[in-house]
Structure 1
Amino acid sequence: MFKTARFRLITLFCGLLLTGACNAAGPNTSAAAPFTDGDQYVTLPAPYQRDSSSGKVEVTEVFSYACVHCAEFSTYADDLRASLPPGVEFKLVPAPFNNAWVPFARAYYAAKKLGVVEQTHDALFKAKFADNYPINSMDEIADFYVSHGVKRDEFLSIVNSPEVNSQIQHDLTLLQTWGVDGTPTIVVDGKYRSANVKSFDQLVALTKWLVQRELDAKGK
C-alpha cells in the first residue's frame, strides 16, 4: 500500500518567527473512467486563486525535503515533469506542516530565489536519505547549500526574510483549502487532489489522466 507522510495542518505562527526551528490514457467518453472521484482523487470545492497568468494547466506537487516518501517519489516526479505535454506547467509547494518541516520549506524558497533549485532538489533528498547526512536544523541545511556554491549569509538572510514568512503563511492557507494532509500529494489545476493511490506509478498515471481531462476541457 502506498503511503504518504501525514500530518494535521496547524497554525505555525511561532514557527514562522523562530526560523531556527523547524500511462494513463486520455479520458474516453465511451469507456469507464479509470479513476474514481472520492477514491483515488477528490474534486476540490473551493475556487483556486492562481498565482500565474500563464493559462497553462498546473500540476503541483506538495512535498517536503523531510519526507522519505517524497525522496522515493522524486525520480517519478522528474519523469512526470519531463513527460507533461505543452500547455502544462509543473510546480512545487513545500509543506510547512510542523516546526521540523518549516526550515526545509524556507530553504526551498531561498534556493528558488537564488536560482539553484534545479541543481539541489534531488541532491538534497539524496544527501539526507541515501547518504544519511545529518540535515535537520537550519544550520545543517545551510551547510548543504553552501556545499553547492551558495553563500551562507545570503542564504540565511533569505530564509529569515519577511517575503519567505509571507510565502509560508500563504502555503499553509492554500494547503488547508486543498485539504492536503500528507506528502507527496499532487493537485491538478487547483481542481483535483490525489487521494487513495496505491503506488507511485498509479499517482503518475492519475496525474496524467487528470491533466488530459483539463486540457480537453480547455480545448487544448
Structure 2
Amino acid sequence: MKRRDFSLAAASLGLLPLAAPSHAQQARPIKAGTDYLVLRKPAPVDTPAGKVEVLEFFSYNCPHCAAFEPQVEAWVKKLPPYVVFRRIPVPFVGNDTDAKQRFYYALEAMGKVDEFQPKVFQAIHQQRLNLTGDAAILAWVEKQPGLDAKKFAELFKSFSVVGKAKRATQLTTDYQVAGVPALGVAGRWYVDGDTAGSLDRALQVVDFLIAEARKG
C-alpha cells in the first residue's frame, strides 16, 4: 500500500486480493530498473559475511501486508540457510505508526513473532478490532494466552525496542520504500508489487537477487 493512498478508513473495507502474475510476467527476463530497483546508495546490512540479508517492509495497519503474510511465511520456510530474513515495520500507514513498530519489536524480543504475527493481522483486518495506540495494544495483549502481558508492557516502551523502531525508520528511508509490502535485498536492491508486476512475482525476483548477491 502506497504512502499517499493509505487511510485507516480504506483499510476497514477489508482485505484486497493479491494480483496474480500473468504468464507474460512470469516468463519475461528479470531486469534492473524494470523488475527491481538498484539503490543509489547501499543500505547498511546486519548480517555476517557469507549471508544474504532479505528485509520485508510491512505495516500491521496495511491490508495488503495482511493478505501477503501467508505467502511470505511459506516462502521463508524454503529459504536456504545462508539467507537471513528480517521484517521491518515502517513508519507510515495509519496514525499510530510508532506504536505499531514497537508492537512488532516487543513481540520479537519475546520470541513471539512467528506465533503472533498472523494473530495481529487477523485481529486488525478480519476481526476488525481497534488496536490503535498504546492502550489498545496493551489491552489486547493482556487477553492473549501465551503472552506475558507484564513483560510485554515493559519491553513495549523499553530503550532497546524504541531504538529498533528508530532503526526501522532509518532503513525505510535508506531503501526509499514507496509502499508496503516491499522487499529489500543485500542492502542493494528494492522490490515491490509495482516493480515486479505482482507480489507473487516479487518473491521470484527476490529469489533471483539472492542468487545475484551470492555471486558477490
Structure 2 equivalent of residue 204 of structure 1: 203
Structure 1 equivalent of residue 12 of structure 2: none
Structure 2 equivalent of residue 188 of structure 1: 185
Gaps of 5+ in 2: 6-26
Structure 1 equivalent of residue 71 of structure 2: 76
| Of 62, 84, 94, the match for 2:57 | 62
1:125 equivalent to 2:124? Answer no
Structure 2 equivalent of residue 90 of structure 1: 85
Q: Point out the more displaced range, 137-146 or 198-207.
A: 137-146
1:173 equivalent to 2:163? Answer no
Distance 1:48 1:70 in 2: 23
For residues 197 and 148 of structure 1, do their structure 2 counterparts lie closer, same or farther at Cα, with a shift above 3 Å needed? farther
How big is each residue's C-alpha offset from its partner over 1:71-122, in whole Å with a ceiling of 9 and x where there is no partner? 0100110121012123112111111226422211101110111111111011
Secondary structure of the corresponding residue to residue 118 of structure 2: helix
Is the contact made by 2:88 and 2:168 (CA closer than 8 Å) also made in structure 1? yes
| Of 128, 148, 153, the match for 2:150 | 153
The alignment's C-alpha RMSD in Å is 2.1
Shift of 1:33: 7.2
Distance 2:4 2:98 in 1: 13
Aligned positions of 1:12-23 closer than 5 A = none
Secondary structure of the corresponding residue to residue 182 of structure 1: coil
Distance 1:157 1:121 in 2: 19
Q: Point out the more displaced range, 153-162 or 71-80.
A: 153-162
Distance 1:157 1:194 in 2: 35
How big is each residue's C-alpha offset from its partner over 1:167-193, in whole Å with a ceiling of 9 and x where there is no partner? 222222221111112111100111110
1:135 equivalent to 2:131? Answer yes
Shift of 1:55: 3.0
| Of 36, 39, 61, the match for 1:41 | 36
Distance 2:125 2:112 in 1: 20
Is the contact made by 1:59 and 1:187 (CA closer than 8 Å) also made in structure 2? yes
For residues 104 and 54 of structure 1, do their structure 2 counterparts lie closer, same or farther at Cα, with a shift above 3 Å needed? farther
Distance 1:67 1:173 in 2: 20
Q: Point out the more displaced range, 203-212 or 43-52.
A: 43-52
Distance 2:56 2:196 in 1: 15
Is the contact made by 1:65 and 1:71 (CA closer than 8 Å) also made in structure 2? yes
Aligned residues: 191
Shift of 1:7: 5.0
Which one has more relative contact order, counting CA pairs under 8 Å at least 6 apart? Answer: 1
Shift of 1:126: 1.3
Secondary structure of the corresponding residue to residue 193 of structure 1: strand
Gaps of 5+ in 1: 9-31
Secondary structure of the corresponding residue to residue 83 of structure 1: coil
Q: Point out the more displaced range, 154-163 or 183-192.
A: 154-163
Distance 2:188 2:113 in 1: 26
Distance 1:119 1:83 in 2: 18
Aligned positions of 1:5-16 closer than 5 A = 5-6=2-3
Matching residue's letter, 1:167: K
